[in-house]
Structure 1
Amino acid sequence: MTEAAPEPGNAHPARTAVRLAGYADLASSLRAARPVRAARRWGLRLPPVVGDSLLPALLLLNVVTTGAPGELPVAVALTAALALPLVWRRRAPLTVFGAVAAAAFVQWLTDVPLPADVALLVALYTAAAHSGRRGALVAGAIVEVGALLACLRWATEGAFLTPFVAMTAMVVAAAVLGVNVRTTRAYLAALEERAARLEQQQDQQARLAVAEERTRITREMHDIVTHNLSVMVALTDAAVYAQHRSPDKATTAMLRTSETGRQALTDMHRSLGVLRTGEPDAERHPLPGITQLETLADQMCAAGLPTRVEVQGSHTHIPASAQLTVYRLVQEALTNTFKHTPAGTPAMVRIRCSADTVTVDVTDSGPRPTLRGATASGHGIPGMRERSAAYGGTLEAGPLPGGGWRVSTRLLLDSGGAVSA
C-alpha cells in the first residue's frame, strides 16, 4: 500500500512542528532573560558601596548560620574584622588591606579558620588595582606569607604542597588581575586625555584656518574693490568732463567703466567661488598672473596713469599662487600711485623672474604728500607686506631720493607660500 504524497500546503509537518517548538523555546528564553537584564541595569544604578557591602554581608550570614554555638562570638567578631573593612576598599585601598591583613594575623594567632579569609584576596586585588607596582608586590608578599602560615598550621599531614600551591595561584591571580585593571584604567585615561588634546588642537587649527581664510578674503576684496572703484571713478569723471567737448572720448570712457565693473564682478566671483563646491566661475576664469599685468597696465593708462610693464625672464615655471601674489602687489602699488599722485604721472613695473625668486619693483616719479599718513592708517601697505611675507619676502615701500615712490620686494619660490596668497 503506497503512502500518499503530502499536499503542498502541509509539506513536512514534522519539520514545521520542530520549528514551532524551537520558536517557543526561544521566546521562553527571551522572557526568562528579561529579569536578568533588568537586574543588571538596576545594579549599575546602585552606588559602589552597596556592591562592596554585599560580600561582608554574605560572609557574616554564613558564619552566623553555620558556626558552632560555642565558637560563634569569636567567629563573628573575626569575620566582621576581616570583611567589614571591604566596604571602604575603594576609598582607602591600602588602609583597608592593612586592616584585613592585621585581622587575618589575629585570626591565625587564635587558631580559628574561617571562610572570610577570602577577604584577603579581595583586599589584595583592590590594593594592586589602586596602587603602584611596588605596593602590589608588597601586598602580594604579605598575603603569600599569610598563605604559608595558614598551610603550616591548618593543612593536614602530608598534604602541605597541594593547598599551598592552590593558595599561591589564587594570590598571584588576584595580584595580576588588580595590576591589569590598573594598567587598563591608566591606558584608557591616557587615551581620553589624548583624544581631548587632539580635539582641542583640531579646534585651534579650525579657528586658525577660519581666521586665515577671513584675512585672505578681506585682502582680496580690498584689492579688487579699491583698485576697480578707483579706476571707475576716474573714468566716470573723465566721461563727465568730455561729454560735451568730445562725445567719442566720453563714450570710450563709459565703455571702459563698464568693462572695469564687469572685471571687478568677475574677480569677486572668482575669489569667493573657491569657497563653494562646484562653483563654475572659479573654473571658467583662471586666477590673474604675470601675463595679465599688460591688461592691468592698459586699464591704468585708460584711467589716466601711464604705466609700462617690463618682465625679465620666463615665468612659466612660477606657481599660480605666486603669480597671483605678484599681480596683487602690482595692482595695489599702482592703485596707491593712482590715488596719491597727479594725473599723468608715469609708473614703471619691473618683474624679474629666476628659477628660485621673483622680484617685483614698482616706481613712479610723482610727488606723494599724503601717502605717509595713508599708509599708517590704511590697509594697502600692510596687505602687501602680508602677501610678500607669505613667500619669505620683505616689502620695501618709501620715497626715492630724486622724487617719486618705490615699492619693491623679492619672493622666494621655494618657501611654498605658507600663507594663502
Structure 2
Amino acid sequence: MRQERSTRWAAYGRYGLVVLVTLAPVQNGAASAGGHYNAFRSAVAVACGLALLWRRGPWWLAPVVTTAAAGVWGWPMLPLLLLALFDLAAVRRVRAAVACSAAALAGNAVLHPTVSLWSTQQYGSTLFLLLAVVGGLWMGSRRRLVEALHAQVEHLRTERDLREQAARMEERSAIAAEMHDVLAHRLSLIALHTGVLATRKDALPDAVVERLALLRTASTDALTDLRDVLGALRTDAPPATDRPAPVLRDVEEMIGQARAAGQAVDPTVVGSPEQAPAAHRLAVYRLVQEALTNARKHAADVPVRVRIDYGPPATLIEVTNPPGAHLRGAPAVASGFGLIGLRERVEALGGHLDAGPGGAGAWRLAARIPHPVTEQNGPLT
C-alpha cells in the first residue's frame, strides 16, 4: 500500500513538472508570434508535452519529437528535451539519449535558431544534457533498487509463512506419532488381556466368552485402523536428538535433569498426571521442555517458576522467569518456530496458549487445555 501511494504521488509530480516545462515554450512561442497562442511553436511545445505524458506510446516518440523541437528552436525547447533524456537514461537507453543530444546540438549548429543551444554559454547546453542523462541513470538505479528490496521483503515474508506452516505440519505429525504409540500400547494391552481371559472360557459363561471375543476383535481392528490413519503421518527421517521419544515421560524427571545442569527451577504441581488425558500429559511435557530451553538460552542466570495443574476441568501450565542479567532493559525478541508448533498442539486439543512479556521484562508462557466432557466424571488411568 505504501509503495502504491508513493508511486501515485511520483506520477502526479511528473505530470505537474511536464505541465510547467510545457507552459514555458508555449508562452515563449506566443510572445514571438505577437501574443497569439495559436502559433506553430506553441503547438509543437504542446505536442511535446503530450508525448511526454503518453506513457503507453512507443518509447521513441517523446525523444524524437523533443529532439526535433530543440534542434529547430534551441533553448526554449531544451527543458522538454531534458525530460525525455532523463526518461531514456532511467530505463538504461543511454545510447538513445546520447544520440538525441547529439542530434539536437547538430540541428542548432546547422539551423542557427534565435536562441541557439551554442550561443548563450559555451558548453552550457552540453552540461545540462549531461546532467539529465546522469540524473536519469541515478533515478533508474534507485527505482530498481527499491523494487528489488520490496521483492526481497515479500520473498522473506512468504518464506516465513511457509516455515510457520511447515512447523505446524511437523508438530501435527509429531502429535499423530505420539498418540499412535500411546493408543497402540493401550489397545494392545486390551487385546492381550481379553486373549488371556478367552483361554479360560470353560470357567466363564457363554455370553461373557462371546463378549470377550467381540472385544478382542474390536481392539485388533482398532489397532489396524489406528496404524492406517496415524501411522501414515510418520516421517521416514530419524527424529531430532533434542526431541524426546513419543512416550509419557515424567515432567519431574525433566526438571530434575535441568537442575542437575545448573538451572534454577521452582516447580509447583497440583493434582496427579493420571487425572489428565495422555495427550494433555504429552503437551505438558513439550510446553515445559520448550519453556526451560528458552530460559536457558535467554536467561540462564535467573530462576524459573513452573506451575502445573492437572485439573479437572482443565490442564493448566504456567512457566515464568524474570529477564536475564544481560537482557535487562532490552526489547522482547519475537518467538521462534518452537512456540508456533506448541500453539498448534494446544489448539488441536481445544485449548489456547499465551507466550510473551509478563511485566517488568519477565517472560511468561501459559496454556489452558480443557478436559474432554466424557473424562470429567473421574480420574483417568
Q: Which structure: greater helix fraction?
A: 1
Between 1 and 2, higher relative CO (CA 8 Å, sep ≥ 6) is seen in: 2
- Answer with 1 or 2: which has the greater Rg: 1
Give the shorter-chain TM-score range. Answer: 0.3 to 0.5
TM-score (norm 2): 0.44
TM-score (norm 1): 0.41
